[in-house]
A = this chain, B = another copy of it.
Amino acid sequence: MEEGTSKSPGHTGVTHPAQACGDGTHGHAPGEGCDYDARQWDVREGCEVRQILDRVADKWSLLVIALLDRRTLRFTELRREVDGISQRMLTVTLRQLERDGLVRRTVHPVVPPRVDYELTPLGATLHDTIQALVTWTEVHQSEIAEARAAYDRRERE
């Protein structure tokens, strides 16, 4: 993999040139200027990279993607497998992922309704990255547990 879209070698400033960059909320018309040297990614709020990062680095999105990476799932199946998610958040998350082109939603015109969710090719490219995160978590589980215990012990005294 390469370093993304960075091209100009010399410039590293990017403190906070201005606001510009669009609103921080989710609804935002793409195509607005927001491109700057991302090599020094101090990533201002509302910028595309931050928007996407906020989506991908979201607990629900991550879990949904990881599950869909195994196989196509229906709404209720996802609801059951993503333990703890509310129906609303599952809907919202899936819609966002669909909008981002990471998940394809297929409605079968049958009764009772049947809707399948699956990763798009783009979404599938997240596999390695997400899996790496999950693997890291599993591998370092005990170390973190220890660190927490130590911290709490220190705090309590």
Contact = CB atoms under 8 A, between A and B. Distances in A.
B152 A38 contact: no
A135 B53 contact: no
B138 A38 contact: yes
Interface in A28-77: 28-31, 34, 36, 38-39, 41-46, 48-50, 52-54, 56-59, 62-63, 66-67, 70
Contacts of A157: none
Interface residues of A, number: 77
A88 interface: no
Interface of A: 1-6, 12, 15-16, 22, 24, 28-31, 34, 36, 38-39, 41-46, 48-50, 52-54, 56-59, 62-63, 66-67, 70, 81-84, 98-102, 122, 125-129, 131-141, 143-152, 155
A30 B145 contact: yes
Given A30-B149, A128-B34, A148-B101, A138 B4 contact: yes
Contact of A140 (B39, B43, B125, B128): B125
28 contacts: A4-B135, A4-B139, A4-B141, A5-B152, A5-B155, A6-B152, A12-B84, A15-B84, A28-B135, A31-B145, A34-B131, A38-B66, A38-B70, A38-B134, A39-B70, A41-B134, A43-B83, A44-B83, A45-B83, A45-B84, A53-B59, A57-B133, A98-B151, A99-B148, A99-B152, A125-B140, A129-B132, A132-B132
Contacts of A56: 133, 136-137
